[in-house]
Amino acid sequence: MRLRSLALAAAMFAMPTLAVAAERDAASQADLSCMAVFLSTIGVMDSEREDYATTVAGLASGAMYYLGRLEARAPETVWLDELTAFFETLDQTAFKSDFERCGAEMAATGARMTAWGEIMQRKAKAAGEKP
Amino acid sequence: MRTLLRRFRTQGVVLVLTFAAVSGALASPVLAREDVAPSAADAADLQCLGVFMYLAGQEQDVEARNWFNGGVKHHLGRLQGRTPDVDWLSRLTDYFVGPFRSEFEANKDRCGNGQIAQDDALQAWGDAFQARVEAAAAAAPKP
């Protein structure tokens, strides 16, 4: 995915507003912010980093998580168009605080999934050890 | 991604061998968390969550596993976005105990194709966005 220049894009679109962001409910605005945060972070990642592929995969799955939340809540909305509009009206200050909020949310979700997976593995192992 | 789908479609042959272990491991201690049946949309997403979660757990190839994990997150997000008051991981446990194995073949292509369509849409959006950025950069006044 050619998203490496998203951060530049965000900065450029923040100046001349070409589209007006649609009215969104608070939950959708928060989720859209998170989707934008994750995609933008992919855009500024150093591709020479040793953990580049793994980190990008994690960020991309984070973006997919929030896209899923958005499209399930409002399936009639074209959320990728909303994403474009979001970048065009980007609030750089809010974007920084969103980064922390979204990262914490995804970390919590990831921790719950990890705990669930560990329980599953233990149960599967225990079942496999039965005669 | 096309390559991944081809792999995805062939996974079932191998993976069926371990279904018994998964469902057997969970059969005894798990109780139903909620008696309310999920909506049709939630049921479809729960099926895909199960498919992707299972495949991600089985996959050894990092790229493929990452792709499956993207499917996991996407469908978990859909479920939590649509019906936030349900513990969907508990529901997933129940689903693995229940009809997951018998439904797997029927669900994996639907779920895989849906995820590929989503990837394609995101790819197209990224390409279009990139083109706009480059056009804006080209049109910007030069110092």
pLDDT of A5 higher than 50:
no
Q: What is the pLDDT of residue B35?
A: 62
Of residues A46 and B19, the one with the higher pLDDT is A46
- Percent helix, strand, coil in chain B, to 5, is 80, 0, 20
Q: What is the pLDDT of residue B34?
A: 54
pLDDT tens readout for residues A89-106: 878 888 889 989 999 999
Residue/partner pairs of A49-54 with CB below 8 Å, 24 or more apart: A53/B62, A53/B63, A53/B66, A54/B62, A54/B66
Sorting pLDDT into bands at 50, 70 and 90, what band is B14? very low
Nearest to A69 among B70, B80, B122 (CB): B80
Give residue B110's domain range: 2-139
Residue type for A103, please? G
CA contacts within 13 A on the Cβ side of B87: 11
Using the Cα atoms of residue A53, residue B58, residue B116 and residue B44 in order, give the sign of their dihedral.
Answer: negative
Angle CA A54–A121–B83, to nearest 5: 75
Query: What is the ipTM score, two decimals?
Result: 0.81
pLDDT mean over A72-90: 91
**Beta-carbon contacts below 8 Å between A and B:** 122
Is the distance from CB of B125 to CB of A80 less than 8 angstroms?
A: yes
> Which residues make Cβ contacts (< 8 Å) with residue B11, sequence separation at least 6?
B55, B58, B59, B108
Q: How many domains does one find in chain B?
A: 1
Ranges A17-21, A26-30, B138-142: which has the least confidence: A17-21
Residue of B23, B68, B133, B134 to mutate, testing the A interface (most A Cβ within 10 Å of its Cβ): B133
Report the distance separating Cα B58 and Cα B75, nearest Å: 18
